[in-house]
Amino acid sequence: MIVARTDRPERHSPDTGTPDGGTAVSAWAAEEAALRGLPLRTVRVPPPDGWDGTGLVVVGIPEAEGAAGLAPGSAAAVALGTAPCPVALVPERAVLLGPVRRAGPVVLGVDARRPARGAIEFAFETARTRGVGLHAVHAWTLPPDADAFRFGIPEEDRAAWEDQEVQLLADVLRPWRAGRPEVRVTEDVRLLSPARALLHTAAGAGLLVVGRGSGRGPGGVLRALAARTRCPVVVVPG
């Protein structure tokens, strides 16, 4: 079941179409439920029975709020802190772009040294379900050895370090690529901060998927994505 937290509680089956409320979160959640063949339940507060049986929680981020939509006590922060399942953060501007955006690729943020396997699984399955490509992005920084070069890093050293990152990402994704050969995968390694790498890649994406660490509060990367991305962001635990 998909649970959407909106200001107009309704219940839907996968074939009912867009909710009467017409809000960004309910419209996106209804399309996602239809795509996955799952029932949709809409609520104004977290359900009294908790998130039992919920496979995805959908929460809206108002256009005017951006990163403030993740402030403590907000609907998004509560969902991220309590739901044991993936949480989709849907900015209002994402729905204004229409259904064409859903046809864009799924962008997956991967830390190749500490991969979030739940996020990888969710991204591959979503790309397969939607019939779109998967763009996996791994951001990296120069190693401490780079400090030894006072007058610039030789290109061969930088290239060697990058090759190591490319191999790390390939090794992480190999089992999922083998299990879902029908998914077209682009592996992308960028010498940027995680937030900048993901925002740049997600410019034409239909969905952005990231993992959630052990910390309960939204981190800086997620706040940057909520403030600036133009597509829904799914945060996956584990």
**Contact between 138 and 190 (Cβ < 8 Å):** yes
pTM for the model: 0.84
Query: Tell me, what DSSP letter sits at residue 18?
Result: S
Dump pLDDT digits (tens) for 104-143.
999 999 999 999 999 999 999 999 999 999 999 999 987 6
CA distances from 63 to 23, 24, 191, 201 (A): 12, 10, 30, 21
**Contact between 185 and 134 (Cβ < 8 Å):** yes
Residue with tokens 């994406």: 205
From first to last of its 238 residues, the chain has per-residue pLDDT tens of 898 887 544 444 454 444 433 467 888 888 899 988 999 988 887 776 778 889 999 998 876 555 555 777 788 888 888 888 999 998 876 655 555 466 799 999 999 999 999 999 999 999 999 999 999 999 998 767 656 566 667 777 778 888 999 999 999 999 999 999 999 999 999 999 999 999 999 888 999 999 987 555 567 788 888 888 888 999 999 7
The CA-to-CA distance between both ends of the chain, in Å, stands at 20
| Sheet (strand 40-43) strand order | 11-12, 40-43, 2-5, 56-61, 87-91, 233-237, 207-212, 106-109, 134-139, 185-190
Q: Which domains does the chain have, with CATH numbers?
A: 2-237 (3.40.50.12370)
